[in-house]
Structure 1
Amino acid sequence: MSKKTRHTEPVARAGFSTDTGTSTPTGVPSDDTKALGAPTPPPDGGLAAWTQVVGSWCVLFCTFGLVNTFGVYQTYYERTLTTVSSSSISWVGSIQGCLLLCGGLISGPLFDAGYFRHLLCTGLFLVIFGQFMTSLCTEFWQIVLAQGLCIGTGCGIVFLPCTAIMSQYFSRRRALATGLSSMGSPVAGIVLPIVFSQLQPKIGAPWATRVIAFILLGIAIVPLTFMRTRLPPSKHHRALVDTGAFRDMTFMTFLAGCVCAFMALYIPFFYIELFALDHRSVPTGFSSSYMVTLMNAGSIVGRVAPPYLADKTGQPCLIMAFSALGCSVLAFGWLGIRDFGGLAAFTVLYGIISGGVVSMQPVATFRFTHDMSKVGTRLGMCCFAAGIALLVGNPIAGVVLGDASEARWRGVIGFTADFMLAACGLLFVAAWFAMRAERALK
């Protein structure tokens, strides 16, 4: 190695270009850095980093937020598709959520391999296209194809990459950045149900659905314009599954906790409006669809406070475990709710605490991934397992619900509370494993 090369290597590693004598922004790898294979550490701030947070917020609005809106469609379909059961209708929303999470098994390794922009463009196109196609559906099987499969596939392609990109731009503030970006989901859950419920009586469900599609189209411009990966793609071939994870007891226990949590976490989001109608808990002049809005409004708080605590404590899995415990306690309390005041309090509080479960899942996965070049693969594995749980959990609740009698509601609520309690136990064990391993290294 020549003298000149030895002199410029530290400069290249610091993130500055030596070709022109000018500096590049901190955290943006120069050509020399890429050539040396030594990317700079995450900037943990700056315009480029926070722009990714905004872009990820928009993607979460268009994906997870759209899935959270399905509660208003569940109620609308139950009233208009009288020959289709509650369980069958809930399969549409479950397919959306399942594909959103399970798609990470494919998009995670592709993200690691450097196909972020391809995933972003394809995924957002399918989501918006599926929403427009939903407005044209007249049969239930068409709804399954457009709203379930097309939108779900698009969500699955783009959701995980736009979450995993936080690990490239943030280290110390990673939980906060992930939590802030995930707020796009509850904001969509507030806005979109109101849009649908207000426009559907006036212009009909098809045009109300198209208005939502146009909103998604406008918001999608932001991530398509600004989102870029910071690090060069991994040069190593990545399998769809990290086999080493199966020998990691901490990660596998955490994975089992995620499965139990997502089996039941979204049951209140899907069925709270129907519960309010069946029990006549909503006063005159207050739309029952606002129950979904209230739950998502509460979730905004749950996307900020838990990440802040996770950054302070360094234990996102422990925060997630306490959130699951809170969801279980609230679900048991749901059994005794009969009036509007109690239902409104439950709706807001469940939204707040469930937000901690959702926002901490990717952060805890980052925490349990020691080789960050495999973060997309491990996050994909975790999302796939959670997606399968989400796929079967809500339809099971629909079968238990049956004719929506009081006894059936007790079964649905008990199912929710028990699985969240099981998730809490497993997540506490995973957090204990992690803390014990950290003490052993000190």
Structure 2
Amino acid sequence: MASDPIKKIEANERKETASSSSNNDSKISNLVTPKPEVVKPAGPPPPSNGGLTAWLQVAGGFMIFFNTWGLINTFAVFQTYYESGALFTESSSNISWIGSIQCFLLQLTGIVAGPIYDRGYLRLLLLTGSFMVVFGYMMLSLCHEYWQALLAQAICVGIGSGLLFTPTVSLLPTWFSSHIGLAVGIASSGSSLGGVIYPIVLYRLIGPIGFPWAVRTVAFIALGTFIIPVIVMKQRIKPPKPRALIDWSAFTDAPYITFALAVLIVFIGNSVLIFYISYYPINKGFTNSSLGFYMVAMFNAASIFGRIAPNAVSDQIGVFNTFVPMALILSITVFCMLGVTNTAGMVVEAVVTGFFSGVIVALPPVCFAMLTKNKALIGTRIGQGFAIAGLGLLIGGPSAGAILGTTEPLNWTGLWVYGGVAIAAAGFILIAVRIMKAGPKLMVKG
């Protein structure tokens, strides 16, 4: 009987040993067996679509627009001052080449700035572009000849602005998804504020301290405000490897290339407004020279709302559904310039055309982003698109000056018809792009 308990104890010990051995084997098996790899999602993470960092990019973009398009929107003041012959004597067409080349280089430089941005060199572009803009206006303050102003204001400032503009409009869409239009609209309203402040600064200072120090003041303002984007702007998406300078597939993308053509043509018409909104009422005697200068400020103040409100609406109904009617209405307002006969009419025209003109700068970056499926190529695509469209800015000013003529009375009727027809033609091309993108149904977001 005594042997039975002993046998039971031995049997239990054997079971415990077997169980322990089995557990150890299981643990060893768990250690040896490789765990399945976690598959990382392809492509960059989705944009934050808000938050402090994202909206700081908008603040930095606001200052970039303030000192690029904002200074370009001020060119009507420079045009009027140069027309007076105080600095040099040239025809309206030759003077407008300064502004046209400046605008064109802002767009053309995107061919280089876009791929550099795509390679991750945002900080280098910001520093180089900021330096060139400030340096260009410092050199303009020393100019006394037409060719000197052409080098400083047109070429140096134009290239510097291009190094800043394309990276900015490429960066903002990468931080937002459903609020792209609003974000770009708020940032682009910086150009309107610049177009309000800089003309007033120039006009109020040219008399008391002279043209050189007035221009230097503009340069100092630009220098101070460039600090913000240099500090806060941050690139979110970087490609895994360097890409070609030109995306040749874009030239076989029908909606993309057609839209670039439409922006080229609408820029021709819009440049007529940018260059001559100040000189027109002074020459026709609708206003005195003081109020004529302030027409630029009124025009750009109204464009603040034209950059933000339509862009916010575009997030809800689609960018092309917004762009098409805005362009067609702008063409009508340009034709209405023919009916202006007094100060009140000119003020109304400045405000109305300013509002709709604001759309012309604010919406194209959003449209180019929407037409770019591969977001890693967004800098290259936007740079190429604006380089093509920039030809309109190069053509617009000088061709408008040639139509205007040099002998009194100037051909203002021909000028405004030219601008209105160009914008209307662009509007109809935009209808074709909208159909290619979203089909012929009116109620579809596109």
**TM-score, shorter chain, exceeding 0.5:** yes
Calculate the TM-score normalised by the size of structure 1.
Answer: 0.89
What is the alpha-carbon distance in structure 2 between the residues aligned to residue 48 and residue 2 of structure 1? 43
**CA 1:168 to 1:43, structure 2 compared with 1: closer, same or farther past 3 Å?**
same
Q: Is the 8 A contact 2:88 2:145 kept in 1?
A: no
Match of 1:338 among 312, 337, 341: 341
What is the alpha-carbon distance in structure 2 between the residues aligned to residue 198 and residue 75 of structure 1? 14
Shift of 1:276: 0.9
What is the alpha-carbon distance in structure 2 between the residues aligned to residue 4 and residue 304 of structure 1? 52
**CA 1:136 to 1:317, structure 2 compared with 1: closer, same or farther past 3 Å?**
same
Q: Which residue of 1 aligns with 2:304?
A: 300
Q: Which residue of 2 aligns with 1:289?
A: 293
Shift of 1:6: 3.9
SS state at 2:278 partner: helix
The number of residue pairs the alignment matches comes to: 411
Shift of 1:406: 4.6
Q: Which residue of 1 aligns with 2:437?
A: 434
Q: How does 1:91-106 map to 2 (within 5 A)?
A: 91-106=97-112
Match of 2:417 among 407, 414, 419: 414
Match of 1:309 among 300, 313, 332: 313
Counterpart of 1:435 in structure 2: which amino acid? Answer: A
Q: Which residue of 2 aligns with 1:359?
A: 362
Q: Which residue of 2 aligns with 1:41?
A: 46
Q: Which residue of 2 aligns with 1:201?
A: 207
Q: How does 1:53-72 map to 2 (within 5 A)?
A: 53-72=58-77
Counterpart of 1:40 in structure 2: which amino acid? Answer: P
What is the alpha-carbon distance in structure 1 between the residues aligned to residue 240 and residue 218 of structure 2? 40
What is the alpha-carbon distance in structure 2 between the residues aligned to residue 372 and residue 269 of structure 1? 32
Shift of 1:5: 7.8
Q: How does 1:12-411 map to 2 (within 5 A)?
A: 38-79=43-84, 80-81=86-87, 83-231=89-237, 233-282=238-287, 286-313=290-317, 315-403=318-406, 405-406=408-409, 408-411=411-414
Counterpart of 2:383 in structure 1: which amino acid? Answer: G
Shift of 1:4: 6.9
- The answer for unaligned runs of 5 or more in structure 2 is 1-31
Q: Is the 8 A contact 2:199 2:293 kept in 1?
A: yes
SS state at 1:39 partner: coil
What is the CA RMSD across the aligned residues, in angstroms?
2.0
Identity of aligned residues (%): 38
What is the alpha-carbon distance in structure 1 between the residues aligned to residue 243 and residue 415 of structure 2? 40
Shift of 1:381: 1.4
Counterpart of 1:252 in structure 2: which amino acid? Answer: I
Counterpart of 1:102 in structure 2: which amino acid? Answer: L
Shift of 1:273: 1.2
What is the alpha-carbon distance in structure 2 between the residues aligned to residue 46 and residue 166 of structure 1? 13
- The answer for unaligned runs of 5 or more in structure 1 is 14-36
What is the alpha-carbon distance in structure 2 between the residues aligned to residue 173 and residue 2 of structure 1? 47
Larger Cα-atom Rg: 2
**CA 1:3 to 1:188, structure 2 compared with 1: closer, same or farther past 3 Å?**
farther
Q: Is the 8 A contact 1:264 1:394 kept in 2?
A: no
What is the alpha-carbon distance in structure 1 between the residues aligned to residue 43 and residue 282 of structure 2? 59
What is the alpha-carbon distance in structure 2 between the residues aligned to residue 252 and residue 141 of structure 1? 35
Shift of 1:283: 5.3
Counterpart of 2:375 in structure 1: which amino acid? Answer: M
Name which of structure 1's ranges 75-84 and 414-423 shifts more when overlaid on structure 2. 75-84
Q: Is the 8 A contact 2:88 2:146 kept in 1?
A: no
Shift of 1:403: 2.5
Q: Deviations over 1:353-412 (max 9, x none)?
A: 011121110001111111111111111111001111101111011111112645611111
**CA 1:38 to 1:382, structure 2 compared with 1: closer, same or farther past 3 Å?**
closer
